[in-house]
Chains A and B, each alone.
Chain A
Amino acid sequence: MTDQTIQTISRDPAPTAPAHRAKARESTVLGLTRKDLTLLIVVAILTVFAPFILNPFPADSALAQFNAGYPDLMQRFVIFGIFAIGFNILFGLTGYLSFGHAAFLGVGSFAGVWMFKLLGMNVLYAIVASVAFAGLFSVVVGFVSLRRSGIYFSILTLAFAQMSFALAYSVLTPITGGETGLQLAKTDPRIFGQSIADDGNIPVPSFFGLEMRDSTTLYMGGWEFTLNVGYYLCAVVMLVAFYVAIRIFRSPFAMMLRAVKSNQQRMNYTGLNPKPYMLAAFVISGMYAGLAGGLMVSMDPLAGAERMQWTASGEVVLMTILGGAGTLIGPVLGAGFIKYFENIFSKINQATLEGWFSVFPDGLSDLLVTLVYPFVGKGWHLTLGILFMLVVIFLPGGLVQGGQKLATVFRRDKNANAVEGPAADQRSQAGE
C-alpha cells in the first residue's frame, strides 16, 4: 500500500488544480511514472549484475561460503521472486490469504515436464504450457474457494492444495510420477525435437539452441563469476513479470482489488461486483505461480509432488510478509532473503564453526560452537523463525519498511511522518 500512498501524495501539490493539467504533467515511459521506472531499472541492473554482486568474496577465502552467486541459487532467487510477486498481487492487494499457491507451482511444473516429454526440449513450450495449465487450474480452485472469505478462504485453498498433493503422490502417478517424481526418459516422443541427443543422453532444456546449463566462468584475481544462460533467461522473465506487476498495481483493476480489501459492503452498493475482480486476481497470481513452476523445470527438468505440499505454500506467504506485503519490491526481497538463508546458512556445519572460533582458547571455542551451532546448519529454520518474528513485530511493513526507516534516519528527514504514516497502515495489513 505504501507505493500507492506515496504516489498519491507526490502527484500534485495544488489541491484545486484542474485534473487535466495534472494529467498532462504526468509523463510516462512504458506506461510507468518516473518513480516506478527508476525502480524497474534498479531491479534490472541488480539482476543483470547479480552474478558479480552476490559473489563479493574471493573463491578461496574463508568467507567464500557466503557467496550466493552460483547459478543454481541465483535461479532460485528469481524464480521464487516471480512466485512471490504473483502471490502479492492476490494477498497484497485484496488481503485474501491463499494457503495453496504451491499447487499452481506444482501444476506448472508438471505441465512443463510433460511438454519436454511430448513436444521437445525448448523451454518456450514448458513456460507457455505451465502458465496456461496453472491458469486453468486456478480458475477452478478460485471459483470454489472465493465463495468464502477470510480464514475459510485460506482453509479452502489449503484443502485444494493438499488434495492436489495427495492425488499427485498416489492415484495420479501415471501423470505425476508419484513418489519418484516426473522425469524425462529416452523413450519420450518429443515430436518437435529428438528423443535421444546426439551424445546418447536425454537432451537438455534449451532456448532455441541455447542450453540452460551453459555457463561461462570469469576469473578476476581471486574472484570467480559464473554467468549462466538459465539464470539470465529466468532474470529476463522475472523482469517482464515485475514490469507487468507494476502496471497491474497502478491500474484501475488494482484499485478495485484494494476496494475489495477495504470495504466489500460499500463496493457492492457502489454497483461493483467483487467476485469477478477477485477471481481475476486469483487467476493472475495462479499464472505467476505456474510461470515459476515452468521456469523451475526449465532449469532442472524434473518435478515431484512435494512441490505442492503445504510447506511450499507457507514459504511464499513468509516471503511476501517478510519482504513487505502490498509493496512492489518487497516480495522479491523476501524471496531472496529466505532462499539465501535456506542455502547458505544451512551449509554452515560444526567443522566450519570450529574453524571460525579456533582463534579463541579451547574451552571458549567449544562453548561458542555449542552456543552458535543450533542457529546454523540444520538449525537455520530457528534463525529464520526468529528473524521473521522480529520483522513482523518491529517492522510490520516488512523489509521494505525497514529500508524506508533507514532512509529516513540517513536523510535526517524532518518529514518522518511521510514514511511512518503508510507504515502504520501496513501494520494493520500485516496483522491480518
Chain B
Amino acid sequence: MGILEVRDVSKNFGGLKALSDVNLSVAEGTVHAIIGPNGAGKSTLLNCLVGKLIPDTGSVSFEGQSVLGRKPHEINQMGISRVFQTPEIFGDLSVLENMMIPCFAKRDGAFELNAYGRMMADGEIVERAEHMLEDMNMADKRKMHAASMSRGDKRRLEIGMCLAQEPRLLLLDEPTAGMARADTNNTIDLLKQIKEDRPITIAIIEHDMHVVFSLAERITVLAQGTPLVEDTPANIKGHPKVREAYLGEQSGH
C-alpha cells in the first residue's frame, strides 16, 4: 500500500473525459514521475490530489485517509505540499518573510490570531526560516523582494517553502517548465539533494524526459486520461506503447 493511493478516479469536463479510471499507487520514499503527452490529464490528476478539483468517481487517499472533499489548506496540513508550474510565492514580501509563513503554518496550523506577538521576535520561527534559506543556498537573498528574483531563484524559494512544512509528499507540477538548461540542471540537483537528505516521497509531473530520467524511480505514463503503463525508467524507455503515445516526441536519451 503506497503513501498515495488513487483508485478508479474519473473526471469529466462537460463531454470531455479528462480522466477515466485512473489507478495509481505512489510508494513511500520514492520519486514517482507521471508523464504523458499534452492533454493526457496530468494536471487534472494533480488538481484532484490537492483538492482543487473533486473527481466525479473514485477515491484518493493519503496515508490511508481520504483527501476527497477537503479544502486545499486542509490537504496541505495532512502533509502534501505542492510546487506549481509557474513559481507561486509571496511576491510582495521579502524572501525571509516568504520562508517564515510556511514555518508559521507548520507550527500554528491553518489559523492563529496572533496579532499581539512580534513577527521578528519569534525566535523559533526566524531561526527555522533562516535555517531553511541556508539549506536552499539563499541566505544572502533573505532581504530581497521575492518578486524581483530570477525564475530559478523563485523556484528554489518555492521548493524551500514547501520543505519548511516538512511534508511527507511533495508534488511538483513541471518544475522546470520554461527554464534554461542550466537552471533545469540546478533544479534536478536540488531535488536529488532533497531526496537524499530526508525521507520524503516525491511525485513529479514532467514533460522534459531529461528531468524524468534523471530523477524518477518509477514512471507512470498517462495518455488520454488513462494510465498506459507503469514501470521503472529503464523499462519505460524502450516501451513500444510509450513511443506510440508520444508519436515521435522525444522518448528518452
A269 touches B76 (CB 8 A): yes
B101 touches A259 (CB 8 A): yes
Residues from chain B with a CB closer than 8 A to the CB of A147 are: none
B104 touches A256 (CB 8 A): yes
A9 within 8 A of B: yes
Interface flags, A268-283, vs B, CB<8A=1, else 0:
1111110011001000
Interface flags, B98-128, vs A, CB<8A=1, else 0:
0011101110111111111111111101110
Tell me the B116-167 residues at the A interface (CB within 8 Å): 116-123, 125-127, 129-131, 134, 139-140, 142-143, 145, 158, 161, 165
Residues from chain B with a CB closer than 8 A to the CB of A11 are: 120
Nearest CB to that of B146 among chain A residues?
Answer: A262
B140 touches A15 (CB 8 A): yes
B118 touches A1 (CB 8 A): no
A271 touches B119 (CB 8 A): no
- Residue among A16, A26, A421 having the largest count of chain B Cβ atoms under 10 Å: A16
B50 within 8 A of A: yes
Residues from chain B with a CB closer than 8 A to the CB of A421 are: 145
Residues from chain B with a CB closer than 8 A to the CB of A425 are: 92, 145
A7 within 8 A of B: yes
Residues from chain A with a CB closer than 8 A to the CB of B42 are: none
B111 touches A277 (CB 8 A): yes
A270 touches B111 (CB 8 A): no
Residues from chain B with a CB closer than 8 A to the CB of A259 are: 90, 93, 101
Q: A361 CA to B139 CA in the complex, in Å?
A: 71
B89 within 8 A of A: yes
A31 within 8 A of B: yes
> B161's contact among A268, A270, A280, by CB below 8 Å, is which?
A270
B184 within 8 A of A: no
B224 within 8 A of A: no
Residues from chain A with a CB closer than 8 A to the CB of B165 are: 270-271
Nearest CB to that of B90 among chain A residues?
Answer: A262
Q: A248 CA to B106 CA in the complex, in Å?
A: 21
Residues from chain A with a CB closer than 8 A to the CB of B102 are: 270-271
A255 touches B93 (CB 8 A): yes
Known: A263-B88, A272-B101. Is A22-B126 also a contact (CB below 8 A)? yes
Question: Shortest beta-carbon distance, B78 to chain A, in Å?
Answer: 9
B2 within 8 A of A: no
B101 touches A255 (CB 8 A): yes
B92 touches A1 (CB 8 A): yes
A271 touches B73 (CB 8 A): yes
Question: Shortest beta-carbon distance, B166 to chain A, in Å?
Answer: 11
Q: A258 CA to B123 CA in the complex, in Å?
A: 21
B97 within 8 A of A: yes
Q: A50 CA to B81 CA in the complex, in Å?
A: 54
B111 touches A273 (CB 8 A): yes
Nearest CB to that of A23 among chain B residues?
Answer: B123
A200 within 8 A of B: no
B77 within 8 A of A: yes
A19 touches B97 (CB 8 A): no
> B92's contact among A251, A261, A280, A284, by CB below 8 Å, is which?
A261
B198 within 8 A of A: no
Q: A22 CA to B118 CA in the complex, in Å?
A: 14
A16 touches B139 (CB 8 A): yes
Q: A252 CA to B105 CA in the complex, in Å?
A: 11
> A251's contact among B118, B131, B134, by CB below 8 Å, is which?
B118
Nearest CB to that of B94 among chain A residues?
Answer: A8
Residues from chain A with a CB closer than 8 A to the CB of B96 are: 8
Residues from chain A with a CB closer than 8 A to the CB of B119 are: 250-252, 254-255
Nearest CB to that of B142 among chain A residues?
Answer: A15
Q: A288 CA to B45 CA in the complex, in Å?
A: 46
Q: A16 CA to B131 CA in the complex, in Å?
A: 9
Residues from chain A with a CB closer than 8 A to the CB of B32 are: none
B58 within 8 A of A: no
Residues from chain A with a CB closer than 8 A to the CB of B82 are: 269
> B100's contact among A18, A250, A255, A262, by CB below 8 Å, is which?
A255
Q: A214 CA to B162 CA in the complex, in Å?
A: 60
Question: Shortest beta-carbon distance, B167 to chain A, in Å?
Answer: 9
> B134's contact among A16, A250, A268, by CB below 8 Å, is which?
A16
Tell me the A1-52 residues at the B interface (CB within 8 Å): 1, 5, 7-9, 11, 15-16, 18-20, 22-23, 26, 28, 31
9 A-B pairs with least C-beta separation: A271-B76, A19-B127, A253-B115, A262-B90, A262-B92, A273-B110, A266-B88, A19-B126, A268-B72
Beyond A255-B100, A270-B165, A277-B111, 9 additional contacts (C-beta under 8 Å) are A18-B127, A26-B121, A252-B104, A259-B93, A259-B101, A262-B90, A266-B88, A268-B72, A271-B110
* Selected A-B contacts with CB under 8 Å, 21 pairs: A8-B96, A8-B143, A20-B127, A23-B120, A28-B118, A255-B104, A259-B101, A265-B88, A266-B158, A267-B73, A268-B73, A270-B76, A270-B81, A270-B161, A270-B165, A271-B77, A271-B106, A271-B109, A271-B165, A272-B105, A272-B110
